[in-house]
């Protein structure tokens, strides 16, 4: 798999692996005994960029990722994130960007990951109560101390990104982006390109919606957080699936799947974009990796974009509480 730059100093596979669903959010996860062979297959496919976070579990995802990648540590780039408050029972209580939290969580993440340095350390959600300069200043201290290599933000707006970048270079901005979620196009992508920041789309397959495999809320396991997402509600899903079916028609003409052509579309939006689709099944991991080799012409890209006009998508990407944490 070809490589892309992450900021100025890191080089990663064109497609990374989002690890959230292995322990969190989407029902039954990946068992620890399966993880070694799963991550080994990812490495065999050329994937070297792995994304986790404190909140995934919480805490258990970092342990799983760290243990599975320990013997490959010098070959991989590991990203993790901080930014939430938790109860003693592990319940998420809200965002937290205080400098003391930045540094405490970094130490805890290093232990869970079983490493002495975090390659890319993101603020998971911007804390409106803490100036971004203070948060990034504490993150920069971790770089000076050799505990973090590069800094990132997640779901930050253009103004916040600019302010953060004046304190310390931001290597990556992570936000949701796909054929169905085009929010970053007007402002975020141009600012990232102006400042030399790599854009890392999470959910480039719209949490599985773009695969076409989920045709009804009944296809989701009990406890799957997508059951609470507006786009997966029955009244919205049929409208959204009509768009997915258009993508599938274009994909079929090229002999690939809807998921693969949707991922290829994201990759073709620029060499400064590194999507991180999630996977828990080897077949999906392999299919996602193969998308890096799909060639799309300008006409293909135009047809795909026009097949999914943003105004035709039904429902917000998060529920009310989730959208409230997005930095607007």
Q: Give the model's pLDDT for residue 151.
A: 98
pLDDT over 70 (residue 137): yes
**Does residue 319 belong to any structural domain of this protein?**
no
From 56, 121, 122, 318, the catalytic residue:
56
Span 46-74, mean pLDDT? Answer: 96
Pairing of strands 3-6, 118-123: unpaired
Q: What radius of gyration, in Å, describes the C-alpha atoms of the chain?
A: 19
Is residue 240 in a domain? no
166 part of a folded domain: yes
Average pLDDT over the chain, rounded to an integer = 95
Does 224 map to a domain?
A: no
Model pLDDT for residues 200-258, shown as the tens digit of each residue: 999 999 999 999 999 999 999 888 889 999 999 999 999 999 999 999 999 999 999 99
- Domain annotation covers residue 101: yes
Domain around 103:
3-209+269-295
Residues paired with 206 in a beta bridge: none
CATH number at residue 48: 3.20.20.100
Q: What angle do CA 308, 313, 316 make, to 5 degrees?
A: 140
Give me the pLDDT at residue 232, please.
Answer: 96
In this predicted structure, what is the pLDDT of residue 24? Answer: 82
87-91, 134-138, 280-284, 296-300: range with lowest mean pLDDT: 87-91
Establish if 230 belongs to a structural domain: no
In this predicted structure, the answer to whether residue 28 has a pLDDT above a threshold of 70 is no
Position 26 pLDDT exceeds 80: no
- Domains: count for the chain: 1
Angle between the 298-307 and 234-253 helix axes, to the nearest 10 degrees?
160
pLDDT in tens, 183-198: 999 999 999 999 999 9
List, as one string, the DSSP characters of 173-198: EEEE-SSS--TTTTTHHHHHHHHTPE
Contact between 51 and 276 under an 8 Å Cβ cutoff? The reply is yes
pLDDT (mean) for 134-142:
98
Instruction: Write down the pTM of the prediction.
Output: 0.96
Band of residue 27 on the pLDDT scale cut at 50, 70, 90 = low
Is 56 noted as a catalytic residue in this protein?
Answer: yes
In a domain, 310, yes or no: no
Distance between CA atoms of 129 and 251, rounded to whole angstroms?
45
User: Within a domain: residue 134?
Assistant: yes
Q: What is the DSSP letter of 278?
A: B
Does residue 328 surpass a pLDDT of 90? no
Query: Does residue 34 carry a pLDDT above 90?
Result: no
């Amino acid at each position: 798999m070809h490589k892309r730059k992450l900021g100025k100093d890191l080089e990663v596979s064109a497609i990374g692996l989002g690890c959230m669903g292995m322990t969190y959010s989407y029902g039954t996860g990946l068992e620890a005994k399966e993880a070694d062979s799963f991550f080994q297959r990812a490495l065999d496919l050329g994937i070297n960029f792995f994304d986790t976070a404190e909140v995934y579990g919480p805490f258990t995802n970092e342990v799983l990722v760290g243990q599975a990648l320990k013997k490959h540590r010098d070959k991989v780039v590991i990203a993790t994130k901080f930014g939430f408050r938790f109860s003693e029972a592990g319940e998420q209580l809200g965002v937290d960007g205080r400098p003391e939290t930045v540094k405490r969580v970094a130490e805890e993440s290093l232990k869970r990951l079983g490493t002495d340095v975090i390659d890319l350390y993101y603020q998971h959600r911007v804390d409106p109560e803490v100036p971004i300069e203070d948060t990034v200043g504490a993150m920069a201290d971790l770089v000076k101390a050799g505990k973090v290599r590069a800094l990132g933000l997640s779901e930050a707006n253009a103004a916040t990104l600019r302010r953060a970048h004046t304190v310390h270079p931001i290597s990556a901005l992570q936000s949701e982006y796909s054929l169905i979620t085009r929010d970053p196009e007007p402002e975020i992508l141009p600012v990232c390109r102006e400042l030399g920041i790599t854009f890392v789309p999470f959910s480039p397959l719209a949490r599985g919606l773009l695969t076409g495999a989920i045709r009804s809320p009944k296809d989701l396991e009990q406890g799957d957080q997508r059951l609470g997402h507006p786009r997966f509600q029955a009244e919205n899903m049929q409208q959204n699936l009509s768009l997915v079916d258009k993508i599938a028609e274009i994909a079929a003409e090229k002999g690939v799947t809807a998921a693969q052509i949707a991922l290829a579309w994201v990759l073709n939006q620029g060499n400064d974009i590194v999507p991180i689709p999630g996977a828990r099944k080897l077949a999906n991991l392999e299919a996602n990796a193969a998308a890096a080799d799909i060639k799309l012409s300008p006409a293909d890209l135009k047809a795909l974009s026009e097949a999914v006009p943003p105004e035709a998508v039904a429902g917000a990407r998060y529920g009310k509480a989730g959208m409230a944490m997005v930095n607007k």
